[in-house]
Structure 1
Amino acid sequence: MTKKAINTITALLILVKAVCLLTFAKFVRVVRSIFSSLPVLWKPRRISHKYKLLPFVLTIVVILAIAACQNDKLQLEKKQTSSTAGRSPIATKVINHALGQVEIPLKPQRVIVLEENLILDSVVALGVKPVGVVFCRDCEENFRGIPNQLLTNVPVVGSIGSQPSLEKILSLKPDLILGLTSLKNSYGLLSQIAPTVLIDFPSMYDFKERLRYVAQVLGKSDRAEELLTQYQNRIQKLRQQLGQQLKTRTISVIYLAGAADIFYTYRPDFLAFGQIISDVGLQLIQQNQKQPQLTLSIEVLPQSDADTLFIMTELLARDFKQANSQPLSFLQKPIWSILKAVRNKEVYRVNWTVGGPIGANRIIDDLFKYLVNAA
């Protein structure tokens, strides 16, 4: 075979290999154009004796090239399959939330919580450390009911009552964002960063129900049931130690506000402290309140009198707090002196604005401290 024929075969082989990944139709067109450029292949009557074997040789070359091409494809597909197996798609599930349905990871790994109490407590209690949180700027605690050390080094992306930093949230690369429906106006932007689940607090005010829901979202339902079992065990122990007090002792819980001239009371089942007191079986003075919240003048405080009075002071005005460094200085006002709890020295300042099992344990600790150990 002449050098020219060899060069022709080599060139043809290279071209055939070059179009290996084309569709068959494109491959045929390319090969046909190659052949048409070689008159010797299409005009056999002009072929000299020394070229008679060239068509046969070229046919063999094409067959071998196609076979090689197919082998390369199989090897490539095998590598791609192996690579895909190593990077399997993230499993997802569909969750119903306050604004509809959303597809989220089966077990989210990078969670941002845009709420510092009602949702965050459950997230942390379930063993998930968020990659971003918001805090309460004007509260007595940054994360109400949750010790700060549980959120050490967690980036802060904003504060309650203000727009969180979308830039910070984006930089943290979350795979899930949790918040309340107060963020519904930002939902469109947040959901472009990561799947976003919003909870409507008035529809899910029971902290145990909320814990179960958050656990479902995070793929931690078994852990939620463990936490609730631990909670029930502590409640049962407290009931046993309170004994007859369950029948005789009355409890009142108020939020003192402003300059200690107004106070708030809540329907017993609406906030976690009322749910816990109810589970214990203690008699709450506000037991018959129908409204979720009442704002009352200090003049009607005697209507909330009880054997034991628990007061929360986080709603007191900042100026009042600064002018009254003693936490219970308001007890010196005449209206307080007529209360049974004040006369019996059973007025206790507490932080019971909690949203989940971590805060619930604080309330139970206080009930042991003030009703059992102090008895």
Structure 2
Amino acid sequence: MNKFWVSFLLVLMFIVSACGAQPKAEDKGPAQEAKTGTITYQSENGPIEVPANPQRVVVLSSFAGNVMALHVNLVGVDSWSKMNPRFRDGLKDVAEVSEENVEKIIELNPDLIIGLSSTKNLDKLKQIAPTVTFTYGKVDYLTQHIEIGKLLNKEKEAREWVEDFKLRAQEAGKEIRAKIGENATVSVIENFDKQLYVFGDNWGRGTEILYQEMKLKMPEKVKEMALKEGYYALSLEVLPQFAGDYLIFSKNSDADNAFTQTNTYKNIPAVKNNRVFEANAKEFYFNDPVTLEYQLSFFIEHFLGKK
């Protein structure tokens, strides 16, 4: 091989190598540039700079399951999330924190803090890391997940899950209505701290799935008293007025459940007809993707006999 071809090949190899190492200008999208930098999230309180790829997230509210579903690392969560059996494996190495114990949060060295608009010590928390809060119920439960997806720079993944979940929940709803009847009613009750509650259509406990996606009917009394606020505290004596043809009982096993042994409870038609579906309240509280997937499978199993 003469000197011309040797020189030509060397120059060609240099050009190919340079092209391979140098991405095209049009390929440098914001997400690629931001991987190790920041993005601007449009929060309720205005724009805020947050990590584009957060590595140490602290959640001081009911959004731990949203973060888990988007596969973002958590270093601290609230006590309610920590006690959730559905979250146990995913949170086994994650610290329990509270808005009251700012020092412990500092020790965790978070790069992002997520809370509610009612979270205490927000001024102190904002000095530790970018802190984003949400007002519970300001947007619907699925839009909430998309917002957290935007915050974590994972909007695409969040939207894909939302669309898929809506389709599956709505299809299951069609099957359930076909089986139990279009006019059959469903109530969701819970016992907590010696008090009975009934729930509307946006307060966790599977209510979003039952009423919003599956279009199952709510008893008129529940609609009247619980729909606006999301929940309603009631006495055992009036429970029969709020009980639907089917009863979802979000049960706290460590609470006083003696009311289930009373004649008032036993004579409720749903109870007499074996149409009470008991769920572990600690697994049923939230409306994040991890919990929603469990709730959907629970309803499919209990209403349709499918697993």
- Please classify the TM superposition score into its range, dividing by the shorter chain length: 0.7 to 0.9
Cα distance in structure 1, aligned partners of 2:272 and 2:304 = 19
Counterpart in the other structure of 1:251: 186
Compare CA radii of gyration and give the structure with the larger one: 1
Counterpart in the other structure of 1:268: 201
The amino acid that maps onto 1:152 is K
Go from structure 1 to structure 2 and tell me whether the alpha carbon gap of 1:145 and 1:98 turns closer, same or farther (over 3 Å shift).
farther
Counterpart in the other structure of 1:231: 165
| Superposed CA offset, 1:9-29 (max 9, x none) | xxxxxxxxxxxxxxxxxxxxx
Counterpart in the other structure of 1:177: 113
Go from structure 1 to structure 2 and tell me whether the alpha carbon gap of 1:236 and 1:294 turns closer, same or farther (over 3 Å shift).
closer
- 1:187 pairs with 2:122: yes
| Superposed CA offset, 1:211-244 (max 9, x none) | 0110000000111022113312321441343224
Counterpart in the other structure of 1:324: none
Go from structure 1 to structure 2 and tell me whether the alpha carbon gap of 1:134 and 1:256 turns closer, same or farther (over 3 Å shift).
closer
User: Quick one: which of 299, 302, 306 aligns to 2:240?
Assistant: 302
TM-score (norm 2): 0.77
Counterpart in the other structure of 2:75: 131
TM-score (norm 1): 0.64
Higher helix share: 1
| Superposed CA offset, 1:277-334 (max 9, x none) | 12112112234444313221211111112221111233x8x6x54xxxxxx6532202
Cα offset for 1:147? 2.7
User: Quick one: which of 82, 95, 103 aligns to 2:41?
Assistant: 95
User: Quick one: which of 136, 144, 147 aligns to 1:201?
Assistant: 136
CA contact (8 A) 1:246 1:282 kept: no
Cα distance in structure 2, aligned partners of 1:257 and 1:98 = 31
Query: Partner of 1:354: helix, strand, or coil?
Result: coil
CA contact (8 A) 2:36 2:53 kept: no
Counterpart in the other structure of 1:362: 294
Cα distance in structure 1, aligned partners of 2:263 and 2:173 = 35
The alignment-based identity, stated in percent, is 26
Task: Flag structure 1 segments of 5+ consecutive residues without an equivalent.
Answer: 1-87, 322-327
Cα distance in structure 2, aligned partners of 1:196 and 1:257 = 31
- Please report the RMSD computed on the Cα atoms of aligned residues, expressed in angstroms: 2.5
Counterpart in the other structure of 1:63: none
Cα offset for 1:276? 0.8
User: Quick one: which of 335, 344, 351 aligns to 2:273?
Assistant: 344
Cα offset for 1:143? 4.2
User: Quick one: which of 273, 291, 299 aligns to 2:228?
Assistant: 291
Cα distance in structure 2, aligned partners of 1:371 and 1:89 = 45
| Superposed CA offset, 1:91-143 (max 9, x none) | 3233233444422122322211122xx3111111111121222223xxxx734
Which residues of 2 match residues 321-340 of structure 1 at below 5 A? Answer: 321=256, 329-340=258-269
Counterpart in the other structure of 1:8: none
